Amino acid sequence: MTLELNYTPPYDWNWMLAFLGARACAGLELVTPERYCRSLSLMGHSGLLTLEPDTARHRLRVGLTPGLAPVARQVSERIGGLLDLAHDPAPTLAGLGPLAASRPGLRLPGCIDPFEQAVRAVLGQLVSVAMAAKLTARVAQTFGEPLPGNPGWHLFPEPRRLASLAAEQLRPLGMPLQRARAIIHIAALCAAGEFPLERPASVEQGIRQLIQLPGIGRWTASYFALRGWQAPDVFLADDYLVKQRFAGMTPGQIRRYAERWQPWRSYALLHIWNSDGWLAA
């Protein structure tokens, strides 16, 4: 089954595919400079989806294997969230001004599955991007179901599957016990419908609630808000690279400086991360 989804240019597809490719998890995702492919289970249906941008027509070609055809509309919504397809760049570019001038096509990467993204955020604590991807792949390959008819592909484990584990079962994959316990706790909350998988009315209040959970600090909660909720106005003032770009400032001072970019601070963060040599004046 093939679909087409529209988007408003400019859109930096090279950057987006490179971003997703650096975080691709073996068995879940396959990313090349031209396309993104991954497994997905949704509402009892499962299969593979393939995404290929058609930059000349400003459309995204979506290929779905037959198993996902019954939920094509819902899959399209998930894809829109992953790739920020509905975003109108004009107000953001106007609000960010010179900060966005060199990379006007940057979009906010979201996610296909907020639960999976929550697990990824925890696994990404204090490790490299590459190691976080390896850990996520190990979780999927060890505890996820194989995708029927597609050798080598797995589905990310359902919350109830991870919630049923003991921390000692996750530790051999390469994570500390505290991190394993945090993942199991999140999974249990998701299985019970008590974890905020959708963006709350107050993102800041939602972040504060996430920080109350064991094993989740402010950086992890904010990063999940950025990608899991695709919140447009989050700023990671205590991020390592951000602190380098704001030399001599405390996190509080950085947050106050970033207020000039409201309500697009998530996009400002992306531009700061991806603008070599940018320093706060």
pLDDT of residue 208: 96
Bridge partner list, 48: 39
Answer yes or no: is 267 within a domain. yes
Helix (H, G, I), strand (E, B) or coil at 246: coil
Is residue 255 one of the residues assigned to a domain? yes
Q: Which of 55, 77, 100 is the last residue in one of the domains? A: 100
In sequence order, what E strands does the chain have?
Answer: 2-6, 29-31, 36-42, 45-54, 59-64
* pLDDT at 126 (0 to 100): 87
Same domain, 87 and 169: no
What pLDDT, on a 0 to 100 scale, did the predictor assign at position 190?
98
Q: Which two tokens stand for residue 278?
A: 């940018």
* In a shared domain, residues 25 and 68: yes
For 33-186, where are the E strands, in sequence order?
36-42, 45-54, 59-64
Count: domains in the chain: 3
Is 221 part of a structural domain of the chain? yes
Q: Tell me, yes or no, whether 109 lies in a domain.
A: no
Cα 120–chain centre separation = 8
Q: Report yes or no on 281 lying in a domain.
A: no
Q: Evaluate whether residue 133 is within a structural domain.
A: yes
Residue 46, pLDDT score:
98
Looking at residue 246, its pLDDT comes to 95
CATH number at residue 260: 1.10.1670.10
Domain annotation covers residue 105: no
Domain that holds residue 204: 114-227
Task: Specify the pLDDT at position 277.
Answer: 83
Q: What pLDDT was estimated at residue 276? A: 85
Same domain, 124 and 193: yes
Whether the CB-CB separation of 215 and 178 falls below 8 Å is answered with yes
Cβ atoms within 10 A of the Cβ of 126, count? 11
Query: What is the full per-residue pLDDT of the chain (281 aa) written as tens digits?
Result: 999 999 999 999 999 999 999 999 999 999 999 999 999 999 999 999 999 999 999 999 999 999 999 999 999 999 999 999 999 999 999 999 999 999 999 999 999 999 999 999 999 998 999 999 999 999 999 999 999 999 999 999 999 999 999 999 999 999 999 999 999 999 999 999 999 999 999 999 999 999 999 999 999 999 999 999 999 999 999 999 999 999 999 999 999 999 999 999 999 999 999 988 889 98
Domain shared by 125 and 216, yes or no: yes
* Active site residues per annotation: 239
pTM to 2 decimal places? 0.95
Distance from C-alpha of 183 to C-alpha of 121, rounded to nearest angstrom: 10
Token digits for 227?
Answer: 């990608």
* Per-residue pLDDT, 281: 81
Same domain, 220 and 244: no
- CATH code for the domain in which residue 147 is found: 1.10.340.30
Residues 223, 251 within the same domain: no
Cα(204)–Cα(118) distance, integer angstroms: 17
